[in-house]
Structure 1
Amino acid sequence: MVFTLEQHDTHSYRRKARMISFAMAGQLLIFGMLFSMLLTSTFGNSLWLYALGIFLGLLATSALFAVLRERPWMTEMRYVWQLKQHLSQISGYLPTLRRAVDDDNKAALNILTFYHQGVTQLAELNGRSPSQDTVWVAEANHIKAKREALGLSPRVDTFDSQDLHAFKRS
């Protein structure tokens, strides 16, 4: 699956993320209390019925969220979830990719460049500054220098998860 980095307004994303988080927590609270109340009023008081009610509330909240996930106003949320999924997928291959970069493997360079850009964008969307870790910055500079030496573009805005299959997970 090909994934492309997109530009999203950070303030809009954070506002929507906060709003959706509060709405989800509220729904879970209401559904959990409602199901617990219905179960205990029907079958009597029991800790297990309260727990079952909360679990059913969680299931109902998850089902409602799964339906709403495809709505147009959830575009930024969907994008960030997909970005996190792809970055997580790449992180499992990082040791192998780093070794391949030392061998001037262009596919590994592209994937690691995308990874660094994605992590930076994710940090900015969440209102944090990009990593100032010296190892992280050194790796980014090393990749940038390798790309320049090989005559490659400094940015990679697309990632195809099929490209990872050429590398063995470490």
Structure 2
Amino acid sequence: MQLREIDKPRYRKHLNYVIWACIAALTIGSLAIAQLFILLFPDQSGSHFHWNLLGVVVTCAVIGSVLNHYRRHPFMTEVVYVWELKQALNQLTRKMAKLKKAAEQGDVTALQAIHFSYSGSRQLWQLDDNTITMDDLARWQTELNALAEKYQVTLDVSRYDPASLKQY
């Protein structure tokens, strides 16, 4: 995955639309499906928990398949990019302890991966207006830059390869 600039207002607008559409679809769909099953298969005891649960599960599956189907639509470009960025950052976070140990030893791949993680996190936090830990991120980036200088490594986010995480 490569980091790229995205239009924050467009991203926020489209994300909010997708969230609200999913909420509406989940509410309407799960109630409609549950009511249909209750109508078709009434329970004399009055407990319809299993039909309500099935309505939610079926509706979630439909929403998931619709989102997957439209993931390449231009409207979803920014939203899908951020979802994929979050997945990439999550993979890096799970390996961060090992990456930091390798970076301290001068491992170029680890240094590039950590740099990608910090750059991606910065972008993500700015897009989501989550700037509380930006000071910590700046400190971590300074420490990483010192390591890169020590080992004479030029940090470049475009040099990060997700497949390289398998070695850690």
Q: Which structure 1 segments of 5+ residues have no match?
A: none
Q: Which structure 2 segments of 5+ residues have no match?
A: none
Aligned position for 2:74? 72
Q: Given that residues 120 and 131 in structure 1 are in contact (C-alpha distance below 8 angstroms), is that contact kept between their aligned partners in structure 2? A: no
Cα distance between partner residues in 2 of 1:158 and 1:12: 28
Q: CA deviation at 1:37?
A: 1.4
SS at the partner of 1:92? helix
SS at the partner of 1:27? helix
Could you give the per-residue CA deviations for residues 79-138 of structure 1, whole angstroms, max 9, x where no partner exists?
11111111111111111111111111111111111110001111011122262454x443
TM-score by length of 1: 0.87
Deviates more, 1:79-88 or 1:59-68: 59-68
Aligned position for 1:25? 23
Q: Given that residues 28 and 58 in structure 1 are in contact (C-alpha distance below 8 angstroms), is that contact kept between their aligned partners in structure 2? A: yes
Aligned position for 1:95? 97
SS at the partner of 2:160? strand
Aligned position for 1:122? 124
Cα distance between partner residues in 2 of 1:15 and 1:71: 15
- The percentage of aligned residue pairs carrying the same residue is 24
Residue pairs, 1:141-152, within 5 angstroms:
141-152=142-153
Identify if the C-alpha distance between structure 1 residues 13 and 158 changes in structure 2 by more than 3 Å, giving closer, same or farther.
farther
Deviates more, 1:93-102 or 1:121-130: 121-130
Identify if the C-alpha distance between structure 1 residues 133 and 122 changes in structure 2 by more than 3 Å, giving closer, same or farther.
same
Cα distance between partner residues in 1 of 2:71 and 2:89: 20
Amino acid at match of 2:10: S
Identify if the C-alpha distance between structure 1 residues 80 and 165 changes in structure 2 by more than 3 Å, giving closer, same or farther.
same
Deviating runs (4+, > 6 A) in structure 1? none
TM-score by length of 2: 0.88
Q: Given that residues 122 and 134 in structure 2 are in contact (C-alpha distance below 8 angstroms), is that contact kept between their aligned partners in structure 1? A: no
Aligned position for 2:139? 138
Taking CA–CA contacts closer than 8 Å with sequence separation of 6 or more, which of the two structures ends up with the larger relative contact order?
A: 1
Number of residue pairs matched? Answer: 164
Identify if the C-alpha distance between structure 1 residues 132 and 73 changes in structure 2 by more than 3 Å, giving closer, same or farther.
closer
- Report the RMSD for the aligned CA atoms in angstroms: 1.8
